[in-house]
Structure 1
Amino acid sequence: MSKLFKQSLLYAIGEIIPKLVSFFLLPVYTHYLSKTDYGIISYTNSFVMFLFVLCVLSLNTYVLRFYFEKEDETYRKRLLGNFYIIITGINLLLSLLAYLLMPIIIEKYNIQVPWNPYFKLAVVSNFLEVFSVIPLVLYRVKQQAKWFTFLSLSRTLLQMLLIFLLIVVFKWGILGHFYGRLFSLIPFFFVYWAIILRNATLNFNFAELKKGLVFATPLLPGALAYLALSLSDRIILERFVPLSQIGIYSLAYTLALTLNIVIQGFYKAVEPEIFQQYGKVGFNTFIKKTQSTFFLIVYMGAMFITLFSQEVFKIMASKEFYEGYLLVPILMIGVIMTGQNVIFGGIIIAEKKTKVEGIATITGAIISLVFNLSLMKYGGVYIAAISSAVSFAVMNTILYNKMSYTEKSLKAPLLALFLFIVISFGLFYIVNISFSLFALLIKFLLLLLYFILLLKVFKIPMRDLLTIIRRK
């Protein structure tokens, strides 16, 4: 377990810095850009994430899953090189289509965000971003977390520096965000190619492509549905509320998603371990111990971020964004569900039930779309936040019911979630405690109480937790 936690920590750092770009830049965005500007950034980011998934077609999951099928190093190098070429071709085709069709779509549907320059710059940046997929998979399958972290960290620091300089020093305004991201990706485009040329054998194997598509195709609708589930709120919001409201909502979502940094870091480390341990004698014990400790971290992280979101908004954001902290407790429920999905989804894929993963995510996406389209006009950003929580909960319920894992149980996670809702919702919506030193003391005491309760809920002795920390 100590190796897994060390890997998780390194992957988390590799995930933390990229995901924290928006968080670290909050004072810049909220003091130098308007709520509308931040809404434009969020809206274009939502579109680009869909385009990114289409360009990759979930083929990176096939590479990750089947890299361990053979011990032959020649096979592994050809596998990596083959899918690097395939994804490059798909990326080029779809980027050109987006470049040609998006101006027409934006004009036809009167989308508030113009194609030039915002969407155009976002499409070009996405084209360069896709080249990072296979190099990062390479470091994961080789369990070289240090190199994964270094690659992610160096590019992100460059991006942060460029965005800061362009917005604050050179006064480029919102364009500083788009050009800062683009300029940071250009040198790493060549770095990614260098990594592949050194560690893979470039080739095109049509038979392997067919196998990859058969495996990954059921995952693609799920991946797209997952994005629809995660991002449809902001896309639909554009139809019902001003971009300024999307800006406030997106800021709250950014804060809630800081927990996703830990979740994704753990996912990067544990997914290969699940695949390797699956079918072995100690698999059930491995999952049980890993799940309990991970869920403890997820729920504690959720409570910490939620309780102190008011202080974060007060310190880091300008006054016009302040009301967004009230959305954090609701949004955090959906983020907690994504944490559970790491374990449930990993087991489902190890069992090769990729269709189940797709069905669960599509179901969640449909619920999200219906919920948002039918109710958003009545509740705006609050309906969007509730929709996220409900949809992710339904998705996880489906995954849980379809798992063959014999020792599965939802009793502890549900109790932990109930306690989270009682404490956070009670403090934010019933007591409505104000920003003060007394409030900080109350929140620290509630956080400590929740930690003690979680140890009981997940049946983790304090001595075991201290042992894990020392090993890490």
Structure 2
Amino acid sequence: MNPLKRLASQTAVYGLSSIIGRFLNYLLVPLYTYTFAPADYGVVAEFYAYMGFFAVLLVFGLETGFFRFRAGGEYAPDVVFATVLRFLVLMNAAFLLAAYLLQQPLADLLRHAANPQYIWWTAAIIAMDSIGAAAFARLRAEEKALQFAGIKLIEIGANIGLNLFFIVLCRQSFEADPHSLLGQFWDPEIGIGYVFLANLAASALKLLLLTPQFRAGLAGFDGALFRRMIRYSLPMVVIGLAGVINEMLDRAALKYLLPGDDATNMAQLGIYSASYKLSMLMTLFIQAFRYAGEPFFFSYAKEQDAKRVYALVLTWFVIFCVFIFLLVTLYLDVFQYFVGADYREGLQVVPILLLANLLLGIYVNLSIWYKLTDRTLLGAGVALIGALITIVALWFLIPLYGYEGAAWAHLLCYAAMVLISYLLGRHFYPVPYDLLRVIGYILLGLGLYVGHQELIAQLDWNRWLIATLLMVSFLLVVLMLDGRRLRRALV
């Protein structure tokens, strides 16, 4: 199959599962924001930020290491998988035990002393997801995208179903009659904690569905392979942790950096996190691309036209991301109803976050230079620079501008990482990226967004009509400039 067709088809399958699944998860945002106060929703945002850090740490970068050594041909694929799996099971079991024993001191430290169970529940979710990451990597390497997507959708469906069961059915039954059958499943003291319980049960179901993949773990642990793999993979942990800092530290830090008291700051965190969810459509596409792109870049690297294909991939990636940017920003008056009225004051950060995520996606494309040349330490250096920029920007901007400063910190970080990664890539693995098109499409998207704001202010036209005309204009420009190139590339 044509390589671009293969990448597009794999991205479509991963993307369809991600978009459908995350869209269904989107329906939980209205549920939470129409049911719980911003301060309560802030608790979920805070703990999910912590989960992001540990989810990276407890996979140890071995997903990428698995792809690297499986594709190298030196070791049997089942041996590579078994080596990864056994190590992850051991380390995550130790983590889970430590979290159980230390849940109260950790809850005291995080100012959640009344709910130490949040620590244990969160740790159990992280451990199961980290072990499951090995099985999902095996499915991706074997290009079993449909099986991957099916399990993901079942997990998401279970999570959504349990949220609706507890927060809607059981809560309403409790309010009508606390002694009713369903009412007895609702405990007001747990409240927002049912979000964690639903996730915990869904993660357990996912691990059960992945059980057939774990049979390959019987192949045995190869110590020599593990030493090579961990040396390659550990810098990926640094890269991953730096990535989580760039993506999630804002939600962990807002409670501590905003000038208000804990209750006020948690409410601001809840508002910002709900607005952040509206930028998730861009993140969905980037995640789908990552699932398909990482194994594709490794498997296609030995082809003579690899660099030309990588350049085309970036151009079309940017076109799709600009389309998503325009879709959300031009129709933001529609997307706003995904969150409750108490949360809509934060909508001004959505365009900033969308643009930041677009730059993150470009960085994902550019990062092939260190993965394909085994210069993961240099890649870690770029990620650390980005993390440092994030930390400094959050420290200075949040006290001055509140959660809007957190959004600008994202944009500053990813812009710097794109520039540094591009310059290093030119030296170590030069790819003939079409900078004129890439930058031109981004500027076109920004221009249409600004034009939309000006037209709404100056013309008494229907907002949707103006948005639709601008969207059609963008698509016509793409069709005229690149429609023929795309058809030729996919032949």
TM-score, normalized by the shorter chain, greater than 0.5 = yes
1:201 & 1:351 partners in 2: Cα distance?
A: 31
In structure 2, relative to structure 1, the CA distance for the partners of 1:455 and 1:402 (3 Å cut) is farther
Which range moves more in the overlay, 201-210 or 372-381? 201-210
1:103 & 1:413 partners in 2: Cα distance?
A: 50
Q: Does 1:384 align with 2:409?
A: no
The alignment partner of 1:407 has SS state of coil
Tell whether the 8 Å contact from 2:308 to 2:432 is kept in structure 1 after alignment. Answer: no
1:257 & 1:468 partners in 2: Cα distance?
A: 29
- Of 23, 35, 38 in structure 1, the residue corresponding to residue 26 of structure 2 is 23
- Of 246, 269, 272 in structure 2, the residue corresponding to residue 246 of structure 1 is 269
* Corresponding position of 1:116: 116
Q: How much does 1:382 deviate?
A: 0.7
Q: How much does 1:466 deviate?
A: 6.2
* Corresponding position of 2:194: 176
* Corresponding position of 1:221: 238
In structure 2, relative to structure 1, the CA distance for the partners of 1:188 and 1:284 (3 Å cut) is closer
The alignment partner of 1:170 has SS state of helix
Determine what percentage of the aligned residue pairs are the same residue.
21
In structure 2, relative to structure 1, the CA distance for the partners of 1:194 and 1:280 (3 Å cut) is closer
The alignment partner of 1:201 has SS state of helix
In structure 2, relative to structure 1, the CA distance for the partners of 1:449 and 1:86 (3 Å cut) is same
1:442 & 1:270 partners in 2: Cα distance?
A: 35
Q: How much does 1:244 deviate?
A: 1.2
Q: Does 1:125 align with 2:125?
A: yes
Tell whether the 8 Å contact from 2:315 to 2:434 is kept in structure 1 after alignment. Answer: no
1:89 partner amino acid: L
The alignment partner of 2:462 has SS state of helix
Q: Does 1:185 align with 2:210?
A: no
In structure 2, relative to structure 1, the CA distance for the partners of 1:57 and 1:115 (3 Å cut) is farther
2:56 & 2:113 partners in 1: Cα distance?
A: 21
2:103 & 2:436 partners in 1: Cα distance?
A: 47
1:114 & 1:238 partners in 2: Cα distance?
A: 17
The alignment partner of 2:111 has SS state of coil
1:360 partner amino acid: V
- Of 336, 356, 376 in structure 2, the residue corresponding to residue 334 of structure 1 is 356
In structure 2, relative to structure 1, the CA distance for the partners of 1:236 and 1:431 (3 Å cut) is farther
Q: Does 1:444 align with 2:445?
A: no
1:205 partner amino acid: D
2:92 partner amino acid: N
The alignment partner of 1:56 has SS state of coil
Q: Does 1:81 align with 2:82?
A: yes
2:467 partner amino acid: K
Gaps of 5+ in 2: 172-185, 259-264
Tell whether the 8 Å contact from 1:37 to 1:247 is kept in structure 2 after alignment. Answer: yes
1:81 & 1:247 partners in 2: Cα distance?
A: 41
* Corresponding position of 2:218: 201
1:182 partner amino acid: L
Deviations 1:396-450 (A, max 9, x none): 111111112241353332232233333335645x67769x981111111122223
The alignment partner of 2:302 has SS state of coil
In structure 2, relative to structure 1, the CA distance for the partners of 1:414 and 1:274 (3 Å cut) is same
Which range moves more in the overlay, 199-208 or 214-223? 199-208
Tell whether the 8 Å contact from 2:136 to 2:148 is kept in structure 1 after alignment. Answer: yes
Q: How much does 1:98 deviate?
A: 3.3
Q: How much does 1:236 deviate?
A: 1.4
1:150 & 1:133 partners in 2: Cα distance?
A: 15
Q: How much does 1:452 deviate?
A: 3.3
* Corresponding position of 1:308: 331
Matches within 5 A, 1:132-171: 132-171=132-171
Deviations 1:41-62 (A, max 9, x none): 1110000111111111101110
The alignment partner of 2:313 has SS state of helix
Root mean square deviation, CA, Å: 2.4
Q: How much does 1:468 deviate?
A: 7.9
1:411 & 1:346 partners in 2: Cα distance?
A: 20
* Corresponding position of 1:405: 430
Tell whether the 8 Å contact from 1:22 to 1:254 is kept in structure 2 after alignment. Answer: no
Tell whether the 8 Å contact from 1:298 to 1:336 is kept in structure 2 after alignment. Answer: yes
In structure 2, relative to structure 1, the CA distance for the partners of 1:401 and 1:115 (3 Å cut) is farther
Deviations 1:202-232 (A, max 9, x none): 4222222211111011111111011011111
Q: How much does 1:185 deviate?
A: 2.0
* Corresponding position of 2:320: 297
Deviations 1:65-93 (A, max 9, x none): 11111186xx1111111210101111112
* Corresponding position of 1:92: 93
Deviations 1:135-162 (A, max 9, x none): 1111111111111111111111111111
In structure 2, relative to structure 1, the CA distance for the partners of 1:143 and 1:116 (3 Å cut) is same
Which range moves more in the overlay, 377-386 or 174-183? 174-183
1:30 & 1:113 partners in 2: Cα distance?
A: 24
The alignment partner of 2:218 has SS state of coil
Q: How much does 1:239 deviate?
A: 1.0
Which range moves more in the overlay, 288-297 or 43-52? 288-297
Matches within 5 A, 1:25-104: 25-70=28-73, 75-101=76-102, 103-104=104-105
2:452 & 2:399 partners in 1: Cα distance?
A: 27
2:424 & 2:90 partners in 1: Cα distance?
A: 35
2:94 & 2:202 partners in 1: Cα distance?
A: 23
Gaps of 5+ in 1: none
Q: How much does 1:261 deviate?
A: 1.2
Q: Does 1:414 align with 2:439?
A: yes
Tell whether the 8 Å contact from 1:112 to 1:238 is kept in structure 2 after alignment. Answer: no
Tell whether the 8 Å contact from 2:106 to 2:116 is kept in structure 1 after alignment. Answer: no
1:203 & 1:114 partners in 2: Cα distance?
A: 44
1:401 partner amino acid: L
2:318 & 2:361 partners in 1: Cα distance?
A: 7
2:485 & 2:354 partners in 1: Cα distance?
A: 27
In structure 2, relative to structure 1, the CA distance for the partners of 1:368 and 1:113 (3 Å cut) is farther
Tell whether the 8 Å contact from 1:80 to 1:134 is kept in structure 2 after alignment. Answer: yes
1:96 partner amino acid: L
Tell whether the 8 Å contact from 2:318 to 2:441 is kept in structure 1 after alignment. Answer: no
Q: How much does 1:301 deviate?
A: 1.1
* Corresponding position of 1:266: 289
2:247 & 2:353 partners in 1: Cα distance?
A: 11
2:303 partner amino acid: K
* Corresponding position of 1:369: 391
Tell whether the 8 Å contact from 2:312 to 2:433 is kept in structure 1 after alignment. Answer: no
Q: How much does 1:99 deviate?
A: 3.5
Q: How much does 1:101 deviate?
A: 4.0
1:258 partner amino acid: L
Figure out how many residues of one structure are paired with residues of the other and give that number.
460
